Structure 1
Amino acid sequence: GVRVGVGVTGLRYLGLELDGRWNFRAHFEKLGPRLMATAGSLSRLLPNVGGPDQVARRLYMGVVRSMALYGAPVWCHALTRQNVAALRRPQRAIAVRAIRGYRTVSFEAACLLAGAPPWDLEAEALAADYRWRSDLRSRGEGRPGEGVVRARRLQSRRSVLEAWSRRLADPSAGLRTVEAVRPVLADWVGRDRGCLTFRLTQMLTGHGCFGRYLHKIAGREPTAQCHHCADRDEEDTAEHTLARCSGFDEQRAALVAVIGEDLSLPRVVATMLGSDASWKAMLDFCESTISQKEAAERERESSSLSAPIRRRRAG
């Protein structure tokens, strides 16, 4: 139908909101809430522990992506900061559920671990592909062959990953995760092994059962100190748990036996991508250590002597 306002005529055509200025503001104002509603509905089907496997989670993420990128070659030129923000919010929401992460995980880290390039970059690639096909038709070359189309898709995918990597060179958040995965971005996105679990994602993001997170972000610990090692003055972080905490020396020895002495996160991630054994060793380490940290946290919360800040809030 046609909508007429003060000096502005709007037209809804084939699912797109068009206006005289072609800025697509009305389209994104309606698209954003619709995407968030769909992402929210699907997220309720994706618990952090249990629930659908990695394939199903990627499928659900693809549903929201398809809705978001509908008509991208038409509106791609109108990717203002406001319109990009309308795409980022639902992408972050569904990516967080896909990786089994905490809701506080940043857009950059969630999309990176999910292997999902930002939708605005994918929209630009779709627009470029559309122009390529249009140029072929205008030159009278007809429909390209299957091999040509496949090569074009691979080229487009590489272009998206290269643009994404350049953007990740200066992330606004999730620096630790980005520094670990960006050097192996193509391998991470294209991997055919290894799934993410709730506890592995905690280790990769630093958002989870760690003193720094529980103190500074969740507000459930009075300090960020480590409760598991002899040096109680050291801050409890994902890095500390992985590489130094004396409370987990036994689990760390088993991990080092498989992946080597270098436990910096970039090296660990690169090694995980190299073999199923390395991925499993890291997975086992995270499951063992973080489950122990969770049990200790619950014990502190249940203690009648604990400060009110430690007690878990309802919900």
Structure 2
Amino acid sequence: SKDDEIDSNCVVRARGLPWQSSDQDIAKFFRGLNVAKYKTKADKLKLAPEKTEAVIQKGSRGKRREVSFELEGTTIEPARTLKYLGIVLDERGSYGRHVEYVSQKAEKTVAALIRLMPNVSGPTSVKRRALNGVVESTLLYGAPVWHNTMNIGKYQQTFERVQRKMLLRITSAYRTASTIAIQVIAGVIPIEIQVEERRYLYSKEHRQQTTIKKEARERSLDIWQQKWPAESAKGQWTKRLIGDIRPWIKSKYRRTDYYTTQFLTAHGSFRTYTRKIGKTEDGNFIYCNEEDTAEHTMFHCIRWNNERLRTQNELGIILTPENITEEMLSSQGK
């Protein structure tokens, strides 16, 4: 109604002042905002000058101007940033400060959640992924607005760093495991692809929601699959085990824990790995004197021949790195 007070959800955006303008021009420009005061009085509305905030968006090359303006006797000092509806606006007209703000906020959430997720025992991987949704909702808030910021490497890395901390606890992985590998093992889409998915959903909001959500997710999986084999030399063993992301992501029988993740990443109690991190002097297995790798232990080592043969007889198949994850996903009992 006309007697309602204008609160902090009201925003005025003024455009058109040349960046070459003098400080006097800027001061005159802001004095013009008092026009709003007369209009609101005529309409019997109440201004709240003490809640008014301002930021001068000068662009990436513009010079900061130290100016202030007055509204109903209250002096307003333009700030470097301004938060509106949860989005941080800055004087450069970019959303870099917003990315930094939500990253810091999400990191505090991560610090609290990881206390609930020890590497050994604790919640199942399904429950851990559910907790990850809390962090993702913080990072992705308003993504259609600031999605272009992810084109800048340092901001993408900032988000990736936060996501990685959660992924390490979701998968119970060693800290040396590569990010691209634990993203796949956890079944969590890389954060920059999720940002693009939110942008795509927003651009198609006029369409039927159920259909477009499914289409957007399939599109994200396509992007992820294209990046997965070619992204880097890291995670090669995981890529060999999980070449096709979709069956792994979509399986209702996918479960990971501290021991499974060691096999899927080859980062764990294998002597080639412990030698690499300086924990042992040589990389040979103590039972057969062969190089102790994840592949050797699981598929070749004579120490585990009986267990391996019994499992293969039950499955009716010879296990290889190329088919073992398919067998893992084929039923809950396996």
C-alpha distance in 1, partners of 2:265/2:104? 27
In structure 1, the residue matched to 2:250 is: 190
Match of residue 155, structure 1, among 209, 215, 226:
215
**Alpha-carbon displacement from aligned partner over 1:250-278 (angstroms, at most 9, x marks no partner):** 2211222234554332310112222234x
Aligned to 2:64: 7
SS of corresponding position for 1:228: coil
Query: What is the CA–CA distance in structure 2 between the aligned matches of 1:2 and 1:245, rounded to whole Å?
Result: 68
Residue in structure 2 matched with residue 289 of structure 1 by the alignment: none
Contact 2:125 2:257 in 1 (8 A): no
Q: Separation in 1 of the partners of 2:317 and 2:171?
A: 27
Partner of 1:42 in structure 2? 113
Aligned counterpart in structure 1 of residue 275 of structure 2, from 201, 212, 215: 215
Cα offset, 1:2, TM superposition: 4.4
Q: 1:255 to 1:73 in 2, by over 3 A?
A: same
Unaligned stretches of 5+ residues in structure 2: 1-52, 66-79
Q: Deviations over 1:48-73 (max 9, x none)?
A: 22111233211111111111101100
- Under a length normalisation based on structure 1, what TM-score does the superposition of the two structures give? 0.77
Provide the secondary structure at the position in 1 that maps to 2:89: strand
Q: How does 1:298-309 map to 2 (within 5 A)?
A: none
The reply to whether residue 241 of structure 1 matches residue 297 of structure 2 is yes
What CA distance in whole angstroms lies between the structure 2 residues aligned with 1:261 and 1:72? 46
Q: Which moved more, 1:9-18 or 1:122-131?
A: 9-18
1:269 aligned to which of 312, 316, 325: 325
Residue number in structure 2 paired with 1:177: 238
- 1:131 is the counterpart of 2:224: no
Indicate if the aligned counterparts of 2:125 and 2:170 stay in contact, CA closer than 8 A: yes
The equivalent position to 2:125 in structure 1, one of 29, 32, 54, is 54
Give the paired residue count. 261
Q: Sequence identity of aligned pairs in percent?
A: 31
CA drift at 1:22: 3.4
The Cα of 1:28 is off from its aligned counterpart by 1.9
Equivalent residue, structure 1, for 2:73: none
The CA deviation at 1:101 is 1.5
Distance in 1 separating the partners of 2:102 and 2:310: 49
Q: Quote the offset at 1:106 in angstroms.
A: 1.2
Q: 1:53 to 1:108 in 2, by over 3 A?
A: same
Q: Tell me the amino acid that sits aligned with residue 42 of structure 1.
A: L
CA distance in 2, matches of 1:91, 1:255: 36
Flag the 1:22–1:256 CA change in 2: closer, same or farther, 3 A: farther
Q: Is the 8 A contact 1:2 1:12 kept in 2?
A: no
Structure number with the higher helix fraction is 1
Q: Please, which of 129, 134, 140 is the counterpart of residue 69 of structure 1?
A: 140
Q: Is the 8 A contact 2:89 2:95 kept in 1?
A: yes
Mapped partners of 1:66, 1:182: distance in 2: 29
User: 1:214 and 1:23, CA in 2 relative to 1: closer, same or farther beyond 3 A?
Assistant: same
Q: How far apart are 1:249 and its partner, in Å? A: 1.2
Aligned residue for 1:49, secondary structure, equals coil
Q: Distance in 2 between matches of 1:235 and 1:171?
A: 28
Residues 1:17 and 2:91 are matched in the alignment: no
By how many angstroms is 1:105 displaced? 1.5
Give the drift of 1:86: 0.9
Alignment of 1:276-287 (within 5 A): 276-277=332-333, 279=334
What is the match of residue 224 of structure 1?
A: 283
Is 1:30 the counterpart of 2:101? The answer is yes
Whole-angstrom distance in 2 between the partners of 1:214 and 1:116: 28
Q: Does 1:200 find its partner at 2:260?
A: yes
Q: CA deviation at 1:20?
A: 3.9
Q: Is the contact made by 2:126 and 2:255 (CA closer than 8 Å) also made in structure 1?
A: no
